[in-house]
Amino acid sequence: MKPRNVDKTKYESKPLNKVNGMPWPRISKQDSKEQVQVPLKKEYLFRSMDYLDTLEARPIFDIQKDIIIRNKFKGIVDIGCRIGIQNDYLYEAGYTDYNYMGFDTSSQPIAYAQERWADVDSIEYRVADLLNKKDISVDFKVDCIIWSGILLYFPNDHIKVFEDLQQFYSAPSAIIQEPCKQQDSNKWLDNMHLNTIETELDSYKELFTCEVDEVVNCDIFSGKRRIMHLCL
């Protein structure tokens, strides 16, 4: 089985937003001098973050795909999955024998993902918050958790949040992806303040075994991302 072709217009899709010729999110006040906090909120529209679905963003997901395939992960939980684009790249590579549950706090991208992958029993999407564990339990063994730009929402206790959920799933591996603190000027705006814990990720290497620590610089908004594979 494979994902369905779905009409994106049902989910208020719009033409891709570009700044400096690169895919960008639709950020209100991006042309003003008022300071904007990034990320903005947990609830967002399908079109608000569609820059992450572009080929320009693919290097992020290719690194994560390679980690998954190389380690033969069969049970994956994807936190902050949006439309679950990671599955597209895994299926494209012929890697389809795994169980997956992705969740996000935004209902619109999850509804789109649920419709696309409705024919694949091993792939599931939910609207949920990681702090509500009753909503995110699974009935398969979890090999790896993907943390997709999530830990920055917990600047004061991100390590505790990370360890707590890894233990909840008894997951021996994690893939962390976070935006870097220093971004290229053409992929950023002066009035934006990036909430990031990227420079604090070194502390994870002191606590866990780090198999991969790589920085990728995509031609998208906030395109410099740090990706780590940790073994607990």
**Residue 30 above 60 pLDDT?**
no
Q: Give the count of domains, the chain.
A: 1
Tokens, residue 124: 């599931």
Q: For 5, which DSSP code?
A: P
Residue 154: inside a domain: yes
Residue 2: inside a domain: no
Domain that holds residue 63: 16-22+59-231
Q: Is 204 helix (H, G, I), strand (E, B) or coil?
A: helix
Pairing of strands 18-19, 144-148: unpaired
Cis check: omega of the bond before 39, within 30 degrees of 0: yes
Q: How confident is the model at residue 52 (pLDDT cuts 50, 70, 90)?
A: very high
Which distant-in-sequence residues (6+ apart) come within 8 Å of 210 by Cβ?
204, 228, 229, 230, 231
Residue 46: inside a domain: no
Residue 10: inside a domain: no
pLDDT tens for residues 197-226? 999 999 999 999 999 999 999 999 999 999
- Lowest-pLDDT range of 24-33, 89-98, 182-191: 24-33
Using a pLDDT cut of 90, give the percent of the chain over it. Answer: 71
**Residue 48 above 80 pLDDT?**
no
Token pair 């679950």 in the structure block, residue: 84
Residue 67: inside a domain: yes
Helix, strand, coil shares of the chain, percent, nearest 5, are: 35, 25, 45
Residue 202: inside a domain: yes
Residue 158: inside a domain: yes
* Strands of the chain, DSSP E: 18-19, 22-23, 36-38, 75-79, 99-104, 123-127, 144-148, 173-179, 192-194, 209-217, 224-231
pTM: 0.92
Residue 4: inside a domain: no
Average pLDDT value over all residues in the chain: 90
pLDDT tens for residues 142-200? 999 999 999 998 989 999 999 999 999 999 999 999 999 899 989 887 777 777 899 99
Q: What is the CATH number of the domain that holds 82?
A: 3.40.50.150
